[in-house]
A and B are shown apart, each in its own frame.
Chain A
Amino acid sequence: MQTSLREDILEAILCLAGEGGGPVPVAEIAAQLRAEAGILDPVLAEMARGGEVTLKGDTATLTGAGMDRARGVAHRHQVLQCFLSERLGIDGTSADREACRLEHQVSDDTIDRLSAFLEGGGRGPRFRGGSIRGEGSRPLTECAEGEKVTVEMIRGSHNLPRLLDLGVLPGEPLEIRQRLRNRAVVVRVKECDIALSPEVASSILVVRAV
């Protein structure tokens, strides 16, 4: 809780002061965070001791270290908010609020990947043709017999090499030939019929062929 409040304060100062980092009146920070100024004082004092802000009278200014950390938080917030609103279709205000909560827990690696995912237009690796918007991808196990689909991505890595050899890679058209009740399937890929166990089939995500 303490960490997230500190990150919120840093983010708020950056937001109010821009790249200069301050000075910003504490009351304004409190207003931005919709919190009472009194709650912030002990936290700000601790942050000052930690070298993230300098306090002068009723104002706070970001130090160099504080600025770096604030930028990191802001970036995480931006990426998450973009993902939530652009990709998942959550409305702006809710997306902002959700991003505020998520930004404190999420790892840098996840943010990097999410950011790369967004840059790629929200498409999985090497997606050719068709947009996933409007129609979600689903595992091969969910497809009906006779359906024609296109591979979008393959989850997990241990099945990947053999599937690659057989030509099951993103963008490849497949036809579901047989499907048992236990969800084992036979797919036709490159004119060959390949039988897949349910656990393998469920790792292959597909979209309806266009």
Chain B
Amino acid sequence: MRIALIGNPNVGKSLIFTQLTGVGVEISNYPGTTIAMKSGTTCVQRDIHELADLPGIYTLDGTSDEEVLVRQEIARGGVDAAIVVMDATHLERNLYLFLQVAETGIPIVAVVNMMDEAEAMGLQVDSDRLSAILGVEVIPAVAIQGRNIADIMPRATGRARPAAVQVPYDTDVEAAIRSLEKTMGATRVQAIWALEGIGGSPDIQESGKLLAQEIEPPHRMTIHQIIAANRHHLAQRIAAQVVGRGAPARGLDLDRLLMHAWPGVPLLLLILGAMLLSVFLLGSVMEDALTGAFESAVLGPVGQAGLPPLPAALLTSILLAVQAGLGIAFPFVFLFSVLLSVLEDTGYMTRAAFLADRAMHRVGMHGGAVIPLILSFGCNVPAVMAMRTLRTRRERTIAAFLVTMVPCSARTVIIAGMVAAFIGIAAAFSVYLLVAVFTVATGILISRITPGEQFGMILEISPLRRPDPRLVMVKSWHRVRDFIFLAFPVLLVGSTVLGLADYAGVLALFQASLAPFLQAILGLPPYAATALIFGILRKEMAFETLVVLAGTANLPAVMTPLQIYTFALISTLFVPCVSTIAVLSKEVGSRVALAVTAYTVALGLLVGMAIHLMLG
């Protein structure tokens, strides 16, 4: 049996999914055109069932990628039973989607999650009454505590049934549905979707369109408005019958502080600044300890083992790559992930989006774009994926440029490891400042020349919650794991190729050919060229390669402070890594990905040149 979790965004579907599929269960990613649906297996009474976590949606009849994906999954018969997850605190709005899923006729069990939060707000949800009205089993649950989660799968596999509740539409719409059912042999849901112009065979859809044109003028509303109003109306009536309102426990309204320009905006800047600074300082200390330990425990003994030259060169490059990877993954990626997860789980991100709406308009986007921008401090790859929440291609194109310019944790390594370590913390922050200036300038420029319309932000503010430390750690661990899987192969292959090239003398040739250019234009030593090129593969390799090629970790011995600063700034401006380029071309197309890569590389070289010419 294939069972799917369906529900509004942010109702706890993924949490339930993780709990149901559990440890040791295979979780795979099915890449769609632009969105992925997670799928896993779970065992009920010795039968294995497939469970799919569908993306969160507000409606089944929309045209966004997520909505189309869910609708098609249902229409193609890919869902044998649906677990419709609803948020007890927003039951009415969640019922709107439930009614649409009910219309499709697939067997359903309903989960009303976040019962604890509803109780805290003084709401009592009568799940028996709800079950009687909807005609399906209703499981009241608290996913975060695991309450009643064990009930879900047995009921979904054994007792899911098509819902009895049916939206009574406007008489004209009902007449049109009946006519489509009779004349074209359409099912009720096919008829409704045909009227909305989103489904059914071409001839059913054609008739639906004609009927819709007849219905609209006397109502002076579009067919979508009529249908939506009817559904909302029923949802409202059901919610009124099952939700009891007691006295809400009124606590401190934090939003009065968080969501006003004062002190909200200073707080936002403070939070971001504190996050950067703590990763910066803590990360450097942790990295030193980690790489130092690796050096004395592994690299040192291997160097003294007296292996023949070729294996020794190979092994050393591989171990160097592992060291670089570990040095970044744990201190920087992990720290960022923990802090970002905390920010995400509190619900602060949507508030930041609201506050930043005005600033984002200046660079051609809306407040929602702030979420990928903040995420990109951790790693650009998930940030690029988070750009899906931006609704227009124009906004995604602008965001693609800006997100890739934000210094990710790997670039933080370069800034911390080179500039802060050898020049000073003020110089390190000047790199951030310069990058910020270039990012804003780029945003203004790109928003001027990118064609397309700009729509505003319509964003649901998520409730404020205290993050669960366990969930934060799990999420951070998953991100570090993803990073290791993504980064290590590239690091290993790159490092090995580099080691081999050095051994074969190719590297010397390559450096010799680029040396005059680098020396004259950027004022950098020849070996820095190779390091910069490898920096495009993976950012942390730029630093790593530089150290290997310079033959010493004590860079001031071989480079002037200005050279170190220039190198760090150029690598920071360069596109972060091949993984980012790959995910960019998947999300916004290869042309934009290419443009972003070319632009950042050109910008880096130009800025390097300017610094050399002015100060060198």
Contact of B62 among A158, A165, A186, A197 (CB under 8 A): A165
Residues of B within 8 A of A169 (CB): 225, 228-229, 232
A-B contact pairs, 12 of them (CB 8 A): A126-B225, A158-B453, A161-B62, A164-B225, A164-B228, A165-B58, A167-B93, A167-B232, A171-B229, A178-B255, A192-B93, A197-B457
Pair B228/A165 contact, Cβ less than 8 Å: yes
CB 8 Å contact bits of B106-149 with A (1 = contact, 0 = none): 00000000000000000000000000000000000000000000
| Nearest chain A residue, comparing its CB with the CB of B224 | A164
Q: A161-B62, A166-B58, A166-B460 are known contacts; what are 7 more A-B pairs with Cβ within 8 Å?
A: A164-B228, A167-B232, A182-B357, A182-B358, A194-B461, A195-B459, A198-B357
Pair A178/B354 contact, Cβ less than 8 Å: yes
A195 to B457, CA, bound (A): 7
Pair A191/B458 contact, Cβ less than 8 Å: no
Residues of B within 8 A of A33 (CB): none
Residues of B within 8 A of A120 (CB): 220
Residues of B within 8 A of A195 (CB): 350, 353-354, 357, 367, 457-461
A198 to B92, CA, bound (A): 26
* Tally of contacts, chain A with chain B, CB under 8 A: 122
A166 to B260, CA, bound (A): 23
A167 to B96, CA, bound (A): 9
Pair A178/B456 contact, Cβ less than 8 Å: no
Count the B residues whose beta carbon is within 8 Å of the partner chain — how many?
41
- Determine how close the nearest CB of chain A comes to the CB of B217; give it in whole angstroms: 8
A53 to B62, CA, bound (A): 56
B387, CB-defined interface residue at 8 Å: no
- Determine how close the nearest CB of chain B comes to the CB of A129; give it in whole angstroms: 14
Pair B93/A162 contact, Cβ less than 8 Å: no
Pair A159/B225 contact, Cβ less than 8 Å: no
Pair B63/A161 contact, Cβ less than 8 Å: yes
Known contacts A192-B460, A195-B353, A197-B357; is-contact A181 B367 (Cβ 8 Å) = no
A200, CB-defined interface residue at 8 Å: yes
A171 to B225, CA, bound (A): 12
A184, CB-defined interface residue at 8 Å: yes
Pair B361/A197 contact, Cβ less than 8 Å: yes
A163, CB-defined interface residue at 8 Å: yes
Closest 9 CB pairs of A and B: A197-B456, A200-B456, A165-B58, A193-B461, A182-B358, A165-B59, A195-B354, A197-B457, A199-B456
A163 to B455, CA, bound (A): 13
Pair B224/A161 contact, Cβ less than 8 Å: yes
Pair A196/B59 contact, Cβ less than 8 Å: no
Residues of A within 8 A of B (CB): 116, 120, 125-126, 158-167, 169-172, 177-178, 180-182, 184, 186, 190-201
Pair A196/B261 contact, Cβ less than 8 Å: no
Pair B354/A186 contact, Cβ less than 8 Å: yes
B237, CB-defined interface residue at 8 Å: no
Contact of A191 among B89, B261, B367 (CB under 8 A): B89
- Determine how close the nearest CB of chain B comes to the CB of A18; give it in whole angstroms: 31
Residues of B within 8 A of A125 (CB): 219-221, 225
B259, CB-defined interface residue at 8 Å: yes
Known contacts A158-B455, A192-B93; is-contact A184 B225 (Cβ 8 Å) = no
A201 to B457, CA, bound (A): 9
- Determine how close the nearest CB of chain A comes to the CB of B437; give it in whole angstroms: 23
Residues of A within 8 A of B255 (CB): 177-178
B366, CB-defined interface residue at 8 Å: yes
Pair B229/A126 contact, Cβ less than 8 Å: yes
A184 to B358, CA, bound (A): 8
A140 to B335, CA, bound (A): 42
Pair B58/A200 contact, Cβ less than 8 Å: no
| Nearest chain B residue, comparing its CB with the CB of A180 | B261
Pair B357/A193 contact, Cβ less than 8 Å: no
Residues of A within 8 A of B453 (CB): 158
B90, CB-defined interface residue at 8 Å: yes
- Determine how close the nearest CB of chain B comes to the CB of A24; give it in whole angstroms: 37
Residues of B within 8 A of A170 (CB): 229
Pair A181/B93 contact, Cβ less than 8 Å: no
Known contacts A169-B225, A169-B232, A190-B92; is-contact A184 B460 (Cβ 8 Å) = no
A181 to B265, CA, bound (A): 12
A163 to B221, CA, bound (A): 15
Most buried by B among A158, A186, A191: A191
Contact of B459 among A160, A177, A181, A194 (CB under 8 A): A194
B152, CB-defined interface residue at 8 Å: no
Pair A194/B460 contact, Cβ less than 8 Å: yes
- Determine how close the nearest CB of chain A comes to the CB of B447; give it in whole angstroms: 15
CB 8 Å contact bits of B446-487 with A (1 = contact, 0 = none): 000000010111111100000000000000000000000000
Pair B225/A186 contact, Cβ less than 8 Å: no
B355, CB-defined interface residue at 8 Å: yes
Residues of A within 8 A of B366 (CB): 197
A166 to B62, CA, bound (A): 12
A194 to B90, CA, bound (A): 12
Contact of B90 among A161, A162, A191 (CB under 8 A): A191
Residues of B within 8 A of A163 (CB): 458
Pair B221/A162 contact, Cβ less than 8 Å: no
| Nearest chain B residue, comparing its CB with the CB of A200 | B456
A95 to B361, CA, bound (A): 43
A164 to B59, CA, bound (A): 9
Pair B367/A184 contact, Cβ less than 8 Å: yes
Pair A198/B456 contact, Cβ less than 8 Å: yes
Known contacts A184-B367, A186-B461, A197-B357; is-contact A166 B93 (Cβ 8 Å) = yes
Pair B458/A159 contact, Cβ less than 8 Å: yes
Residues of B within 8 A of A193 (CB): 460-461
| Nearest chain B residue, comparing its CB with the CB of A184 | B357
- Determine how close the nearest CB of chain B comes to the CB of A71; give it in whole angstroms: 22
- Determine how close the nearest CB of chain A comes to the CB of B588; give it in whole angstroms: 21
